[in-house]
Structure 1
Amino acid sequence: MSVDSQSSSSRRQEIAKTFRLVGWISFWIQLVLGVVSTIIVLLFGIFSQRPGSPSNNPGSGFGIFLAICGLVTLGVGVYLAFRYTRIGRQLLSSNPNNHPSKLETVQVLRFGLLVNLVGMLLTLLGAQAIVGTLVARSISPQAITTQLFDPNRIISGLDMLVVQANTNTVSAHFAGLVGSIWLLNRITR
């Protein structure tokens, strides 16, 4: 075995280990934050969107829709993070025919970047819609003149949980972006 092939082999093994490590870290961060966010958003959707509920308004409905779209793209991001671990496994294979090409690997990483950027955008737009609705509810004039209590002006704990869920989803997409950028940097050096 020549010195060049040994250094190429050790570089490939180093990249493979990096793919596996970063892939698993990214996978678990995105998965945990995504599951927590999904549970919160689904609970909010089930319990707060009943007729007559204070949170049942068009702004929060659109925000929830965008939050769900962000969660769907997060699911794709979780799959891609798992795929990074499989690429690392393929690179460790003793059979050179199993090794993915550099072009194919770069394309998967670029797709991961795109998925997480789109997911982050959708989630941020959803968060803006939800927070905008909550701010409008909190600063709108109370029904003091009619001496009636207006439950539509109350910001509930579920409303705040949805804001937290959106923050978790943005954080998960950010973790996916960091992982993809790190790996892209490692293989293009």
Structure 2
Amino acid sequence: MSQTPDAPSSSSTLRAIAQIFRLLGWSSFWIQLALGVVSGVILLANSLFGRNIGSTNNAGTGFGVLLEVCGLLALGGGIYLAYRYTRIGNQLQSSNPSNRPRKSETVQVLRLGLWVNLAGILLTLLGAQAIVGSFTLRALSQGQLIFSAQANQAIISGLDMFVVLANIQTLQAHFAGLLASLWLLNRINRL
């Protein structure tokens, strides 16, 4: 952070903060990327090989998947911000104080990370509610909980449950990004 009144004076403190930014940035980046790819592959496989999730009897599921895709798009922003944390960590180690970001700029990026991950969590939770609600209504409308009377056909298939799994993976990814942003913001605000 540049040598302004809101910047730390100790170079050892600055190095420690830079290392934390890089460590948490890379950890958050890879966790979010891995979980996001898993969610994306699950949703893609379900749309290619699964039932028609946008059909009229699955309107809630289709809307839930749309919200899940929006949550994945927000996760893309979270992944970018996690990468940006690593760049901030590198800039903090610069020997030229004018190349270091100011504390206020760093806090602004961290707050943006918080909001992006919170928005992603909200979208994904709303999608999960729509999907699980649709599955519950589908099961209850058949009068039996798991299997229909017609040839023991599953009312809720394994492919349906993959959509729920994709939601959980996306929620975990946003939670990892949220934790990293909160931890870094807490560390910056202690200065």
- TM-score tier after normalising by the smaller chain length: 0.7 to 0.9
**Which amino acid in 2 is paired with 1:64?**
V
1:145-156 alignment to 2 at 5 Å? 149=150, 154-156=155-157
SS of residue matched to 1:149: coil
Please say if residues 111 and 181 of structure 2, whose CA atoms lie closer than 8 Å, have aligned partners that are also in contact. yes
Report runs of 4+ in structure 1 exceeding 4 Å deviation.
Answer: 53-56, 150-153
Please say if residues 55 and 62 of structure 2, whose CA atoms lie closer than 8 Å, have aligned partners that are also in contact. no
State the percentage of identical aligned residues.
61
Structure 1 residue 32 displacement after superposition? 0.4
Aligned residue in 1 for 2:122: 121
1:18 maps to which of 17, 20, 44 = 20
Structure 1 residue 142 displacement after superposition? 4.3
Q: Does 1:36 align with 2:41?
A: no
SS of residue matched to 1:22: helix
Aligned residue in 2 for 1:107: 108
Which structure 2 segments of 5+ residues have no match?
1-7
Aligned residue in 1 for 2:71: 70
Structure 1 residue 45 displacement after superposition? 2.1
TM score, norm. by length of structure 1: 0.88
Q: Does 1:80 align with 2:75?
A: no
Structure 1 residue 137 displacement after superposition? 1.2
Residues paired across the two proteins, number:
181
SS of residue matched to 1:57: helix
1:88-99 alignment to 2 at 5 Å? 88-99=89-100
Which structure 1 segments of 5+ residues have no match?
1-5
Please say if residues 67 and 126 of structure 1, whose CA atoms lie closer than 8 Å, have aligned partners that are also in contact. yes
Matches of 1:104 and 1:56, distance apart in 2 = 49
Q: Does 1:141 align with 2:150?
A: no
Please say if residues 27 and 82 of structure 1, whose CA atoms lie closer than 8 Å, have aligned partners that are also in contact. yes
Q: CA RMSD in A?
A: 2.6
